[in-house]
Structure 1
Amino acid sequence: DVHSKLIDAIAPRFKRNAGDESINENIDEINQTSYIIGGSTAQQGAYPWTVRLEVYYPGAPKARGVCGAVLWNKNHVVTAAHCIRNCKSGKQAEKIKVCIGDYDQNQNDGEMCYWANQWWPHPSYVYCNLNQLKNDIAVIKISNGMRVPYWGPNNVGNANFPWAPNNNTYEGTSTLTGWGQTNPSPYQYPKFPSKMKVVNLP
């Protein structure tokens, strides 16, 4: 089906049936100490593929999680699997709002938001295991489609994904954007930026 093909395009090591639990190969493991914190304030409109997610859980009228995602096409965005489940409560996301063209999450600056219809985490992802973050990827679907491209103040456009048909390791520079935590200490109340942050990594 469509989401299986999309996951195949994103992570070539997936099997053709994305719902098959017997995945032989996994996406490379990321060590817990590899979290990215901080970054520089991004220039408005410079990263048109960046998506902001508002995640709602059962019994919570307000969004309990804000995550970043990447615009794949007018019907799909790609995010981390840990964004669609609350590890503290153990609850799966009940609703997900997908916002494209956002920059300052505390202001209406031209973003367009849509409700997701379905979402699929990698079938081999183990939720809430902070010592292992293998397969931390998910696809979110917006059935009616989003207005892409939309050339406004912030711009909206698809990401430039590296393509590796032979499963070769991508060795270029990666640009990461989002509204993640800005203070590194685990003993402080987490701080999150109003405006999008950006960092380049090898």
Structure 2
Amino acid sequence: MDATVFMSVVILHALNFVSSSPAHDYSHNAQRNTTQRYRRSGGYPKFPVGTDSGKKEEESECGTRDVYHQPSYSGKPVPKVVGGTAAPYGAYPWTVEIKAYRPNKRKFEHHCGGAVVGPRLVMTAAHCLQNEQADQLRIVVGEHFIEQRDQYEKSFRVEDVLIHPKFRKVGFYSNDIALLKVKPVGDQGIQFNSHVRSICLPEQSTQSKEGAWCLVTGWGAQNPDDVESQSQSLQVAAVSLLDLATCRRSDVYGGRHQDILDSMVCAGVLEGGVDACGGDSGGPLACEVDGRFVLTGLVSWGDGCAKKNRPGVYTRISHYVDWLEQARKQLGV
């Protein structure tokens, strides 16, 4: 099974096991108050790529959201999506769908996930793009239901693709990170609103806290044994960050052809039941820091979906801060 299937199946399990609860449904006023709390907070220091404090206010609101949602953090499996639950529309406004053109079907179909990191930039996994041309890709923001048009949905062409130059140089899943340059419509790139927003980027010194709960989102498979069982609506799962020593244990991922590198981060439940899965590759692993969500990882790979001692393995974004700055300049944004 290749990396895309592995990771997709992992997210799939995570999404299928997190249950929703009436206790998590808040009134309009509660949502409004939560939004105000996020906007008043000091926030995370790193703003979206390609923006600065002198630009529009909405461009500096990375990692915030107007639609509040709190999935279960129990890590216990429940029916349907692998460890996850259906997300309310707009609760994860930085999540994008990447579609690829399929000549045999003569249409664009779901391919991977990604994260908005600026008005002209989307980040995803390199393995999502290795066999794709820019003109054969579409970026869909404001997406929720795959088979119907959502209120804030908008599709963009891809102007350029930049894959990390050392992708697969230190193992099949190493340096699994890439950027997509959004082709503007008229003179405008991605416009931020209540349901479309960028996610903050971490600082290079950011250390992932073992045991911290983060959220992974995507439209991946709902059945780990059927990678075609794609979810028709955005799913979210809560996963716990694991330290590298645990992930490198011989009964986890130690001694495999792919070492667990410092540029990777593992997340999930060692008992199994919560993970990402097929179709989720490239999607964001978001952790809340000081009231804002920060892009901690990208869905990269794993051994199956939500299996015992087989957590999801993500590309660690803080490891690539310098490269991202260089890449931004190279892409001219």
TM-score interval, smaller chain: 0.5 to 0.7
SS at match of 1:156: coil
Residue 149 of structure 2 corresponds to residue 149 of structure 1: no
CA gap of 1:134–1:60, structure 2 versus 1, over 3 A, is: farther
Asked if 1:180 corresponds to 2:155, the answer is no
Structure 1, unaligned runs of 5 or more: 1-31
Alpha-carbon distance in structure 1 between the residues aligned to 2:227 and 2:126: 24
1:165-201 CA-partner distances (Å, limit 9, x unpaired): 33x432243211110111112xx45200100010121
Q: Secondary structure at the match of 2:112?
A: strand
In the other structure, the counterpart of 2:157 is 115
Structure 1's consecutive aligned runs of 4 or more residues displaced over 4 angstroms after TM superposition are 57-60, 91-94
- Which of 192, 203, 219 in structure 2 is aligned with 1:164? 203
1:135-171 per-residue CA deviation (whole Å, 9 max, x = no partner) reads 11110001424242123xxx1111133x2333x4322
Do the aligned residues in 2 keep the contact of 1:57 with 1:93 (CA within 8 Å)?
no
**TM superposition score normalised by structure 1:** 0.68
Q: Is the 8 A contact 2:94 2:116 kept in 1?
A: yes
> Tell me, what secondary structure is at the counterpart of 1:35?
helix
How far apart in 1 are the matches of 2:105 and 2:134? 10
Structure 2 residue 115 is the aligned partner of structure 1 residue 70: yes
Aligned-pair CA distance for 1:60: 6.5
How far apart, in 2, do the equivalents of 1:101 and 1:64 lie?
16
Question: How many residues are paired up?
Answer: 158
Task: Describe the shift of the 1:112–1:189 C-alpha distance in structure 2 as closer, same or farther (beyond 3 A).
Answer: closer
The alignment's C-alpha RMSD in Å is 2.7
1:99–1:60 Cα change, 3 Å: same
Change (3 A) 1:65 1:124: farther
Match of 1:124 in 2: 166
What is the CA-CA distance between 1:85 and the residue it aligns to?
A: 3.2
Which amino acid in 1 is paired with 2:114?
A: A
Amino acid at match of 1:66: H
The one-letter code of the counterpart of 2:142 is G
Largest Rg, 1 or 2: 2
Offset at 1:43? 1.2
Question: Deviation of residue 94 (structure 1)?
Answer: 4.3
CA contact (8 A) 2:135 2:158 kept: no
- 1:2-21 alignment runs, 5 A limit: none
**Whole-angstrom CA distance in 2 between matches of 1:138 and 1:195:** 25
Q: 1:57 to 1:138 in 2, by over 3 A?
A: farther
> 8 Å contact 2:219–2:233 — kept in the other structure?
yes
Confirm whether residue 61 of structure 1 aligns to residue 106 of structure 2.
yes
Supply the AA of the counterpart residue of 2:203: A
Structure 1, 114-123 or 51-60: larger mean CA deviation? 51-60
In structure 2, the residue corresponding to 1:158 is in which secondary structure?
coil
Higher relative CO (Cα under 8 Å, sequence separation at least 6) belongs to: 2
CA contact 2:117–2:200 (8 Å) conserved in 1:
no
Query: Which structure features the higher share of helix residues?
Result: 2
Distance in 2 (alpha carbons) for counterparts of 1:134 and 1:60: 32
Give how far 1:97 is off.
0.6
1:45-56 aligned at under 5 Å gives the runs 45-56=90-101
